Amino acid sequence: MSWSVSVAGLSFALVAGVLRLFVLGGRVRLLEGLAITDALTGAYNRRHLDECLSTAIQRRARHGESAALLLMDVDRFKEINDSLGHAAGDRVLKSIAAVVRSRARRMDALFRSGGEEFALLLTGADLRDATAVAEELRLAIERSSPIDGGLSVSIGVSDLDAGHTAESWLHDADVALYLAKRAGRNRVAARDGHIGVYRSEAAVVTSIPAAAPFH
């Protein structure tokens, strides 16, 4: 009888131990997820963006896998906050994240890279594909405005070059974004890494050295 009780007690202890490990593992995964996620939009945060850019660069070097980066900035976001309030600004950011997620593939990753700026990392995409995706997202966001007065974004696109670091890749997408803003906002501009030219959908073609400072 005592032997049976001992076996039952041991079985219970083993089950309890497994359950504790399962719960602990779930809590660890939850905390890890929270550490890389933007609380407002549910997109990944800037820290995780840096990590994913470095991973994409490594995969290109090892396996030749292409990738492209989109930087999206809300046009006149300060005016939205000033005229409609910060709650409206929050609705705008959450709406944009929802629109992008609804159209992104499972292999793509969305990040909130700044206050009103998002980044979308496209795995296996070349510049032509990424520019088409950017234009589709621009139109979808414009048509899904959660506020009166309309909503638009400007988008900069850069494909991944062999010589890119995470910093220079982000810089190139940032310069393309600047050109989209300068060309009138609510448009897409892309960097062609093969010829070192930034092209805007507004027919603006500007030669800018890849190492040019951007402010």
Q: Does the annotation count 136 as an active-site position?
A: no
pTM (predicted TM-score) = 0.78
pLDDT digits 0-9 by tens, 79-136: 999 999 999 999 999 999 999 999 999 999 999 999 999 999 999 999 999 999 999 9
Find all residues with CB under 8 Å of 137, minimum gap 6, and list them: 70, 72, 99, 100, 103, 120, 153, 155
Classify domain 46-207 at the CATH topology level: Alpha-Beta Plaits (3.30.70)
Q: Residue 11: its pLDDT value, please?
A: 62
Task: Give me the residue spans of the domains in the chain.
Answer: 1-35, 46-207
Catalytic residue among 51, 65, 79, 116: 116
